[in-house]
């Protein structure tokens, strides 16, 4: 089991968090349907460092951006999504 260091709650077990999706720019509400289809259904599958949105649902209930290495599962960085510069 992985452990994440929540910036609000400290070190916590992965079971307290829910994976949301990879970090990606959210289309505007009036964006073309093709943009929304791509956002919902298209995902990267990188080898190495990858930024993901996670929800700390059994803790502070904040959205977090967690950068993990997809090969080793090492957690490289954790920060609040609201301070990451990408809209959720």
Residue 43: pLDDT above 90?
Answer: no
What ranges do the domains of the chain cover? 3-32+39-83
Assess contact for 21 and 53: CB atoms under 8 A.
yes
Per CATH, domain 3-32+39-83 is 3.30.2270.10: yes
> Across the chain, which distance is largest between two alpha carbons, in Å?
41
Summary count for the chain: helices (H), strands (E): 1, 6
pLDDT digits (tens, 9 = 90+) for 49-63: 999 999 999 999 999
pTM: 0.84
Selection from 84, 61, 53 nearest residue 12 by Cα: 61
What mean pLDDT is reported for the chain?
A: 92
């Amino acid at each position: 089991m992985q452990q994440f260091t929540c910036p609000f709650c400290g070190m916590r077990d992965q079971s307290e968090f829910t994976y949301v999706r990879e970090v990606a720019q959210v289309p505007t509400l009036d964006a073309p349907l093709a943009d929304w289809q791509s956002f919902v259904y298209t995902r990267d599958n990188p080898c190495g460092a990858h930024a993901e949105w996670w929800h700390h649902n059994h803790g502070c209930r904040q959205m977090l951006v967690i950068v993990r290495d997809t090969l080793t599962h090492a957690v490289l960085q954790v920060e609040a999504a609201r301070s990451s510069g990408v809209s959720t």
